[in-house]
Amino acid sequence: MTDENFMREALRIAHNAEGRTSPNPLVGAVIVKDGKIIAEGWHRQAGTPHAEIHALNMAGELAKGATLYVTLEPCSHFGRTPPCARAIVDAGIKKVVAAMKDPNPKVAGHGFEILRSAGVEVEVGLLEDEARKLNEIFIKWVTKNLPFVTMKFACSLDGKIATVGGESQWISCEASRKFTHHLRDINDAILVGVGTVWADNPSLTTRLVEGKNPIRVIVDSNARTPIDSKVVNDKSARTIVAVTENAPPENISELKNRGVEIICAGNGEHVDLKILMRKLAEREITSVLVEGGGTIHFSMLKENLVDKVLAFVAPKIIGGKNALTAVEGAGFEKLSDAINLKNFTAQKLGEDILISSYITEV
């Protein structure tokens, strides 16, 4: 096997904890001796041992003189756990091959310095693009102090998310709906506008696949979220309602009395989405799945807050000039102002096509 094979294995096992390590990155580690893998490990959850420690514990005395392949620079600071770089030195690892430098300013090369100063050979950059894709959420959060935002919608071939009569269940097929619930599982939070709560009274939980429920974020300038709605009453997940300073105090009190967390984001007519995103990041919410209607989608796009777009396109034609579309709002007047998507990919999910693309590059 080659260096690339070993690093690909480290990247593969890092995915085992997808959606579980926030606000930490996904990390995989593989220890190799005499051309064979003798130990593996991946980070499982914030506050628990890092990938390198799991691998070192598995290797034991065999780690002496071995090579460690790791998807991210070993940490050098005391956070929730002790530094991994020192543990690697103490274990007698001879060489470390890392896919990328840690973008976290608390680390940012210091881990490599500890290793090199102790005589450990260090190589950096093997499969770096794949490693950056693995941790696109962490990189955005730790460098920009903002969550990584994915906008998701299901639409017909002609771009409708509901019929002219408002019927939307179900445009997408079962496979697409299951994948949507997988997205809820791996994201920290799910965001919708209060209009969606009023119209559909959704649970916004993970049900079609096994997994955790995301934090529910409702954009609701005037705190109009119904007291009897599922997001307020079912206690299935933490619920945050984002309001403005002008929201009626009595509405806010009612929501707080039912355990809803209130975030005040701006003093204008509408919630300032940029302020909201910053405040979510401060709460260690590193990823947000936006499943709102066309108005929220346009507002998020207009404020340049969306990183990734996932569109589930069903082989249906709905029609109707008044039927809702995935992105509404005022729209962009000029084609030159339209948002150009990058790194476009498409895959078949049941009867649907899932189109995945990026707006920003981490």
CB 274 within 8 Å of CB 248: no
Q: Is 207 left (phi over 0), alpha (psi -120 to 50) or beta?
A: alpha
Closest CA to 359 of 307, 310, 312, 303: 307
Which amino acid belongs to residue 87?
Answer: A
Asked if 34 contacts 59 with a C-beta cutoff of 8 angstroms, the reply is no
The one-letter amino acid at 153 = F
How far apart CA 307 and CA 305 sit, in angstroms, is 7
Coil vs helix vs strand at 138: helix
3-state helix, strand, coil in the chain (%, to 5): 30, 20, 45
| Region class of 321: left (phi > 0), else alpha (psi between -120 and 50), else beta | alpha
Spatial CA neighbour of 284 closest among 79, 36, 27: 79
What secondary structure letter does DSSP report for 325? Answer: B
From residue 361, alpha-carbon distances to 131, 148, 213, 306 in Å are 14, 11, 28, 11
Residue pointed to by tokens 């499969």: 127
Catalytic: 174?
no
Number of neighbours of residue 341 by Cβ within 10 angstroms: 14
Q: How far apart are CA 41 and CA 48, in angstroms?
A: 12
Exactly one of 52, 73, 136, 291 is catalytic; name it.
52
Report the amino acid identity of residue 40: E
One DSSP character per residue, 37-50 reads: EEEEEE--STTS--
Q: Helices (H), strands (E): how many in the chain?
A: 12, 14
Residue type, position 116, single letter: R
The set of catalytic residues is 52
